[in-house]
Structure 1
Amino acid sequence: MKQFEANFDGLVGPTHNYAGLSFGNVASQSHAAQASNPRAAAKQGLKKAKALADMGLVQGILAPQERPDVHTLRRLGFSGTDAAVLQKAAKQAPALLQACASASSMWTANAATVSPSADTCDGKIHFTPASLVDKFHRAIEPATTGKLLKAIFDDNRYFVHHQPLPSHPSLGDEGAANHTRLCQAYDQAGVEIFVYGQSATNAHLPKPQKYPARQTLEASEAIARLHQLDNDSTVFIQQNPAVIDQGVFHNDVIAVGNQNMLFYHEQAFWDGKKKLAELRGKLQGPLHLVEVPNHQVSVTDAVKTYLFNTQIITLASGEMALIAPTDCEENPRVKAYLDQLLTMDTPIKQIHFFDVKQSMHNGGGPACLRLRVAMNDTEIAALNQHVLLTDELFEKLNRWVDRHYRDRLEVTDLADPQLLIESRTALDELTQLMKLGSIYLFQQ
């Protein structure tokens, strides 16, 4: 039975904007209050996803969430018609309106943590939606994320869905952005790496001083238990607090892995040598550890270009390719390193650059836009086939974007009642197009 790693990319929503909501995310804060282009953002993401499908990968699309989220605004005390709720929130608490209008669900690396059937004791794929408690604009996502995942992976013979962890900072969980699976082949048992920023209970472990550590050790351990992973298939590594304070808000901004290769910055991990030795001991067979020296690529350049927020994929030939943002190509130091990488003895033999600047300016690169799910052909056949990207779906989605998305959006536009109507109209059509059912509250 053949096993693949499927990528499910988040479709950028109609309210894509630059409100600068994510403290600790340098790109998000530095582009705050600029005008965005939701139409271009959605098309950039679709183009990248289609390119991977054309390379032979299984590629799916995850729908956006309903935004502005007037349901949450009502829970916060704003009343009246939907238009009145938006206008009152804009006047009385604009920061809350901005949070409830964020299109941040586009970064589906934060949607959930996924463990494939090859690793779990019950032989099923396990999903746990991330609680995302550190940021309010993301903490309102998990319920809809769970509905969306169940609408796609809806066969309980193969898929197990867990509730998000309890919403408390001691159980801060940011999903697959802090989770990497290494293996020799996708159909073989692997080692799942959980990277955490701090411990809620161990006062002896260091913590960042400037920016928050969003993932806790306790959350990572809880997910490993939920997913029925044993000790031999897990490694827990602490992220270096010093790089968190330099804007590395998730591990996937400083490290990325695929199969038996881990690509990481030399400052990525706290006590890294010991933990990587543990990883080598648990992963049966060869392990390629590619450490990028700080003197060649600084943490600042890594964050600015998202060198590590790239995707490493395995092609049909068995070679690996790096899917990178064009920002890496435009930075002379990062480009020089990538040119050197192609001459080194690593599995990476190709590098492909993609323009995803609309996402990059808000703090997310190619890896942020996708959720990885290792699956065999039986499991792929059991999921909702209407979300898998084909030539036909690609054309339909591009036409859908053209019909419903604006090409310019200011933060002040978030209070426009027409934007809510446009967003709901678009999402209602999308759920029919992708056969998702009534997953949004406005549909019920």
Structure 2
Amino acid sequence: MKTAVFHIKQGFTTNLYIFSGNTLEGLFLISREELKASKFPPKLRGIDKVYVLLDDPDGYYLNLLKLPGSGLRVGELKKIINYELLSILGEKARFAFEVVATQEDETGISSLVLVNGIKETYFNEIVDYLRNYRDLIELVISYPISYYNYDLGRGTLILELYEDKTKMTVLMGGAVVLYRTLPIGSQTMNSEDLFLRLRDEIERITYYVKQNYDRTFELRKMYYFTEDKNFSDLLRGLGIESELLELPLYRGGDVAPYIVAQKSPKDFILNILPPIVSYREISPYIYLFLLLSFFLYSALFSYSYFRLFKYERNLSKALENLRTGVYQNLTYIRENRMWMLTSALSQAEVPLGDFLMAVSASLERGMRVTYLKSERHVSGLAFSLNIDFDNVPDFKKVDLLKSFTERLSSYGIFYNLSYEVQSRGEKKEYRVKGVMLKGGG
């Protein structure tokens, strides 16, 4: 069984490891240009499976998210995590996650969720570069996840000491909570300075984890790897129970690809890419069934699309007739997905443009107005807006309503503003009420 591990670093420079069983057959340095052109060494031919190891912090996100509540359903977790990653990465992301702990403090009960995400554009770029081996890719993870569940202790440090760099991975209860690459190594400074620097870094990361995750956190064990065995005594002197990472078949490069190559994708819960089943593994009968299903769904889609197109065409004609002659005094205005009757607004002596502009500018991302009810008021126009949300977790909706009313209030032309949440069975309705003064601003 031959396995290829692509260790992708910043700038898409890549180390390619080719293993036969657990033995390294070749280690190759590939530039971005070569990766983009799919120029790989001949030894890659006849490969059975491909693993991708990401070591570029600009492309992926790995962290523990503290989410309110416990026992959240998978669908709810996915929705919340998708919203958080969109805010953090600035674009849509592929991700995998695992609930690692439940925590209770002065704010209540919360869940600690380990999230490993990758930007969609970054992922697509990688898959495009490896297009010739696309159906062989079985694993895509970030570098620190290679140690996921490596140890079940409360506080573990994985320390990799190379000639030109040092990598530190901190695990808490088996979950990766911190990963750092330091530009110091066994050949960049003398032993005494290296020892002092490593001791300072260990104190720094311990303080960081205590402040951000668990105040009782303590490093209790260290697994270490060093290319130069003369540094073993130095590492054991850091004051932490230590154990050497034994890699008898090590032949250069980083440690993680060796660990990953010896495991199955099923061992990695945070695999961003679930295993792909090759067509070669599908029986002819299943393949025939899939083919027939494809033709059936294609026919149903074509029929549905034709019906929908015909319905839209008839609806467009009906709307056009309404606008041009059936109801002369009725005008519909489309703004932020809301339909409203202008006659009530004009009778209340309220400038329509100011009203629409204020509502539009006050809406935040993920909010939309689905219904407007308005009536004349002594002071101007009394209105009620029904608000709906797209891809917004329930616990953030009230905050957005509050922000919306505050922004409306800042215009100085609205008063008696309030918001309410009404439950109708399992569904909730969100409503904002208020009065707009005559004459606007």
TM-score relative to the length of structure 1: 0.29
Q: Judging by fraction of residues, say which structure has more strand.
A: 2
Q: Which has the higher contact order (CA 8 A, sep 6+)?
A: 1
TM-score relative to the length of structure 2: 0.29
Structure possessing the higher radius of gyration over alpha carbons: 2
